[in-house]
Amino acid sequence: MKKGFLTMQEIVKYDNFLNSLSLKGFSSDELDMLMVLCQKARDQEDSIVEIPFSEIKTLASLKMNKTVKQFKESLDAMNRKLCQVVCKLENGPETIFFVLFPTFGANYETQTLRIRVNDDFRFVLNSLTKNFTRFELEEFTHLTSRYAKNLYRQLKQFRRAGEYRKSIEDFRELLDCPSAYTNKRFMDNCIKPAIAELKQSGYFTELRIEFVRAHKRGAPITHVIITFQPDKQIPGQMRIEDYQAQPQAPVKKNSFNNFPQNNYDFEELENKILHKEIGE
């Protein structure tokens, strides 16, 4: 990462719908590559996005010693898993199932990846002003465990509240718990190490996990509650989430073609909010 200011290219931002999907079987590296694709496809509408292999490797903090053929095989393996992710939308009486990226072509000669976001999935990556998850790509890729990465995404959705609460069934599904694991084995072997890694990373302060148990024989776990210190708004800084609630600026008329034109620029606003110092 370049020193100085973060750029918009280093921020992952998507609709919270993505956090409701279970990314089954994704390795740590594959999760990194997926977040890179989400970042690169953001606000691209339905256009084809071409990404050099070298850029994916750099942004995903992958080992650079893989041959082109090996890297292409890694991308193909990730896409096969993406095709198995069940994306389901309820729209009144209609139920829609779709894949995230209907176009996913890795070119061996040009060393580029071509992707296009599904039309039904565009809302997840385009024109996001509320109900979104946002985090720094570098933070995500520096985590090593896939459980820590998945938990990190889930917690970032609740960065303002500082509390994450899920039933044990939903939690196991979202964190990709092996079906053969008991709840105790899942917590001991997967979640507690993930919590320890997140604590060590310093990305969350005062991170704690609590298990809610049923009042019956065996006291089985029914819910998981994770708390942490919520993000604090910097004095004088306006969040994107808050901006929608503010009174809108007066509308003015363009003298050339007489169409309504607002006095604010969301892209400029977001740049101001997301640009922060990270060192000299």
Please check the confidence at residue 116 and state whether its pLDDT lies above 60. Answer: yes
Highest-pLDDT range among 6-10, 65-69, 80-84: 80-84
For residue 34, give the 3-state DSSP assignment: helix
C-alpha 254/C-alpha 182 separation (Å) is 64
7 versus 83: the higher-pLDDT residue is 83
**Radius of gyration over alpha carbons of the chain, in Å?**
21
Q: How many CA atoms lie within 13 A of 245 on its CB side?
A: 6
Q: Are 222 and 214 in contact (CB under 8 A)?
A: yes
C-alpha 269/C-alpha 253 separation (Å) is 21
pLDDT band at 274 (very low <50, low <70, confident <90, very high): low
Question: Which among 12, 82, 2, 1 is positioned nearest to 40, based on CA atoms?
Answer: 12
For residue 191, count other CB atoms closer than 10 A to its CB.
22
Amino acid at residue number 75:
L
pLDDT, position 32 = 95
- Tokens 């990556």 found at: 125
For residue 161, give the 3-state DSSP assignment: coil
C-alpha 124/C-alpha 127 separation (Å) is 9
Q: What is the pLDDT of residues 15-34, one digit of tens each?
A: 999 999 999 999 999 999 99
Q: What domains lie within the chain, and their CATH numbers?
A: 1-142 (1.10.10.10), 240-273 (no CATH)
C-alpha 202/C-alpha 143 separation (Å) is 11
Q: What is the pTM of this model?
A: 0.78
For the chain, give the percent of residues with pLDDT over 90.
Answer: 56
Q: Are 241 and 160 in contact (CB under 8 A)?
A: yes
For residue 37, count other CB atoms closer than 10 A to its CB.
26
For residue 187, give the 3-state DSSP assignment: helix
Pick left, alpha or beta for residue 200 (phi over 0 → left; psi -120 to 50 → alpha; otherwise beta).
alpha
Question: Which among 67, 13, 20, 15 is positioned nearest to 39, based on CA atoms?
Answer: 13
